[in-house]
Amino acid sequence: LKLPFDVQTYYENPAKASGNCFSPSPSVNDWYETIRLNYCDFHTATWDKMYEIVRYWCGKGVDGFRCDMVEMVPWQFFQWLIKKIKDEFPEIIFIAEVYQKELYSRYINEVGFDCLYDKSGLYDSVRSVVEGHGTAKSLTWNWQFLGDLQPRMLNFLENHDEQRFASDFFGKDARRTFAALGAGIFLNTAPYMIYFGEEIGERGMDAEGFSGLDGRTTIFDWWRIASIGRLIGYIHKNVGLTSEEAALLEKWRKFLNMASSVPAIASGKSFDLCYCNYDSPGFDPDMHFVFLRGDGSQTWLFVCNFSGATSNISVRIPKEAVDYLDMKNLGPETRIEVEVSSDDCVMIRLN
| 258 Rama class: left (phi>0) / alpha (psi -120 to 50) / beta | alpha
In a domain, 102, yes or no: yes
Judge whether 196 and 218 are in contact, CB under 8 Å. Answer: no
H helix intervals, the chain: 45-59, 75-88, 104-105, 124-130, 137-146, 177-186, 226-237, 243-261, 263-266, 319-324
Please report the DSSP string for 36-78 in residue order: -----SS--HHHHHHHHHHHHHHHTT--EEEETTGGGS-HHHH
Report pLDDT digits (tens) over 280-331: 999 999 999 999 999 999 999 999 999 999 999 999 999 999 999 999 888 8
Q: Is the pTM of this model over 0.85?
A: yes
Residue 36 lies in a domain: no
Domain extent for 49: 45-265
Q: Are residues 148 and 120 in the same domain?
A: yes
Do 247 and 111 have their domain in common?
Answer: yes
Residues 116 and 228 in one domain: yes
3 state DSSP class of 140: helix
> Is there a single domain that holds both residue 319 and residue 344?
yes
SS3 184: helix
Backbone angles phi, psi at 334, to 5 degrees: -130, 145
236, 276: one domain:
no
End-to-end Cα spacing for the chain: 79
Q: What is the CATH number of the domain that holds 342?
A: 2.60.40
Q: Provide the sign of the torsion angle of the four alpha carbons 66, 72, 76, 77, taken in this order.
A: negative
Q: Residue range 81-106: average pLDDT?
A: 98
| Domain limit, last residue, from 215, 240, 265 | 265
Question: How many separate domains does the chain show?
Answer: 2
pLDDT band of residue 33 (cuts 50, 70, 90) is confident
Average the pLDDT over 135-141 and give the result: 99
Provide DSSP, 282-296. Answer: T--TTTEEEEEEE-S
Q: Are 280 and 314 in contact (CB under 8 A)?
A: yes
Same domain, 100 and 213: yes
- Rounded-to-integer distance, Cα 17 and Cα 36, Å: 6
Sign of the four-CA dihedral 141, 143, 147, 152:
positive
302 and 321 inside one domain: yes
Q: What are phi and psi of 123, to 5 degrees?
A: -60, -50
Band (1; pLDDT cuts 50, 70, 90): low
Q: Are residues 143 and 168 in the same domain?
A: yes
Displacement of CA 253 from its chain's centroid (Å):
18
Least confident of 12-16, 67-71, 274-278: 12-16
Closest by Cα among 155, 156, 161 to 216? 161
Flag whether pLDDT at 8 surpasses 80: no
pLDDT class of 24 with cuts at 50, 70, 90: confident
Q: Which of 217, 235, 265 is the last residue of a domain?
A: 265
Residues 255 and 306 in one domain: no
| CA–CA separation, 13 and 22 (whole Å) | 11
Helix (H, G, I), strand (E, B) or coil at 338: strand
Residues 255 and 278 in one domain: no
Last residue of a domain, one of 245, 265, 285: 265
Concatenating the DSSP letter of every residue in 117-132 gives E-IIIIIHHHHHHHTT
- Same domain? For 247 and 292 the reply is no
Query: What CATH number is associated with residue 164?
Result: 3.20.20.80
